[in-house]
Amino acid sequence: MKGLGWAMAKATAAALAVAGAAGGQSWDVGLGASQWLKRRSENRLQISLESRGRYEYREGVSFGKEPDRFTGLYRTRLGLSVKAVSWLKVSAMVQDARAPWYGADAPAPVRDGADLQEGYIELWPERKRGFGFSAGRRMVNYGETRLLGSSQWGNLARTWDHASLYWRHEKARVEWLAMSPVRVRQDGFNAPGFGDRIWGLYCNFREWRPKTAADIYALRHDQNRPGGFTGGAKAAGTDRLRVNTFGARVAGPWVGGVRYSLEGAAQTGRVGAAWHRAAAWFSGLSRTWTAGGKPLEMTGEYKFASGTGNPRDTSRSGTFDQLYPANHDKFGHSDLFGWRNLHAVRTQATYGLSRALALHLMYTSTWLASVRDAVYNGSGKAMFRSPEGTAGRHIGQESDVFFTYKSGRLTFGAGWGHFFEGEFIRNVTPRRSPVYLYVFHSYALQ
């Protein structure tokens, strides 16, 4: 199956390369095939295609704990959705992801031969009012993806085995969900880890005020040892994570053309034998001006996530559980950190040089919330800590410059990022400042 997947990836990429060569013309292989299929099936069949390549160099990986790395990342997707009848939609997607030059030990986050990325059914998919249902394997995004999302920047996007029952209205969606993240397996088909699951209610309200949206959610995260939990004793009842997350988000226009976004979450429950109490907060403002006849968007954000005040006290846990977010760009373009035990300030300027070309400048500065707790990476795993809290609070700063160019279904881009170590990183790491450099190209037909 893996060899077949690689053959499929190469064949699809070759076809899309022809489309890319014709990018300046009206003819497009992917679009032509999609339109032909729609006509012949009377809009019951629809295909999706993606071919993407990124070439990146990372220096100072894990602040010097790992060797520098240059690699290519290739991802090919082929999807098909079928509207069998008016009340039933069936969708499937195959994904093949490769990481040449990485080496034989390329891990699951960057490499996976052809496998099922999506395969789900949806009942009453086109209703604007009433009940709907979805079940199967699917990529999902909730809110602004700070807690639950499938980031498309990574070579593999997180996917879930899920069931979702929801009620819809023109201005609201109330959803009950249950889902488990799918684990990548190099020696077989990918499978969910049902010992790691999230379930609960997620409610979205649209236009309750002009151009304003709000979310309210109550989610439960359960994880046992087979599901990946590594803390606590093995005694019954203390060998698992049981975290409840209650939160809300609101976003909309403010004054003078400024838009705002706010989100807060509080957590209760247990982490092993420890009582868990944690919280997180996000606030952001953005506005678009005209500079030289071109749009200039400015954004400013502040984020907080609690940490554990005394990690040696095994009866209390205060480190925010970030669940499964899509973290790309949220804590810097290099994706070094996650939403745990930190204060972070981020600013970004996006200048539209033309309809197709945009230039982005980003700056991020990060501090520990608790000086005795760890600094955590994007997946939420602890990297470094100062048990006595004597290493300092400032983690560091990151500056990023990147651009994107879009032409139809083709996108090109490149970027550079440099992390400047703060006092904490200087005192607890091998002191290699991360540098990130990349170029990418993609073709996508949805």
User: What average pLDDT score do residues 280-306 get?
Assistant: 97
Burial class for 411, CB neighbours closer than 10 Å (0-12, 13-18, 19+): middle
**What per-residue confidence (pLDDT) applies to 74?**
95
Q: How do residues 27-75 score in pLDDT, each as one tens digit?
A: 577 787 778 887 877 788 999 999 999 999 999 999 998 889 999 999 9
Poorest-pLDDT segment among 177-186, 229-238, 429-438: 229-238
DSSP-assigned letter for residue 400: E
Q: Give the helix, strand, coil percentages of the chain, each rounded to 5.
A: 10, 55, 35
Give the tokens for residue 173: 């969606």
**What per-residue confidence (pLDDT) applies to 195?**
93
**What per-residue confidence (pLDDT) applies to 236?**
59
DSSP-assigned letter for residue 84: E
* Backbone torsions φ then ψ of 12, nearest 5 degrees: -65, -40
Residue 257's identity, in one-letter code, is: G
Length of the chain: 446
DSSP-assigned letter for residue 16: H
Q: Which residue ranges make up each domain of the chain?
A: 277-429+436-446
Alpha-carbon distance 367 to 385, whole Å?
Answer: 13
**What per-residue confidence (pLDDT) applies to 33?**
77
Cα 250-252-256 angle, rounded to 5 deg:
140
Is pLDDT at 321 greater than 80 in this prediction? yes
**What per-residue confidence (pLDDT) applies to 146?**
96
Q: How do residues 194-222 score in pLDDT, each as one tens digit?
A: 999 999 999 999 887 888 999 999 999 99
Is pLDDT at 441 greater than 50 in this prediction? yes
Is 248 in contact with 263 (CB distance < 8 Å)? yes
**What per-residue confidence (pLDDT) applies to 209?**
82
Dihedral sign (CA 310, 314, 318, 322): positive
Poorest-pLDDT segment among 36-45, 168-177, 369-378: 36-45
Q: Name the residue with higher pLDDT: 52 or 104.
A: 52
Cα 365-368-371 angle, rounded to 5 deg:
150
Q: Indicate the helix (H) or strand (E) that contains 428.
A: helix 423-428
**What per-residue confidence (pLDDT) applies to 22?**
39
Distances (CA, A) of 297 to 220, 239, 245, 285: 36, 48, 32, 11
Confidence label for 237 from pLDDT (cuts 50, 70 and 90) = low
Give the tokens for residue 65: 């704990």
Q: Report the 10 Å Cβ neighbour count for 5.
A: 19
**What per-residue confidence (pLDDT) applies to 233?**
62
208 torsion bin: left (phi>0), alpha (psi -120 to 50), beta (else): alpha
User: What average pLDDT score do residues 369-375 get?
Assistant: 97
Cα 395-397-398 angle, rounded to 5 deg:
130
Classify domain 277-429+436-446 at the CATH topology level: Porin (2.40.160)
Give the tokens for residue 14: 């070759």
pLDDT > 70: what percent of the chain?
92
Q: How do residues 407-420 score in pLDDT, each as one tens digit?
A: 989 999 999 999 99
Is pLDDT at 96 greater than 50 in this prediction? yes
Alpha-carbon distance 39 to 35, whole Å?
Answer: 6
What is the pTM assigned to this prediction?
Answer: 0.90
Is pLDDT at 17 greater than 60 in this prediction? no
Distances (CA, A) of 79 to 93, 96, 374: 4, 12, 41
User: What average pLDDT score do residues 277-301 get?
Assistant: 97
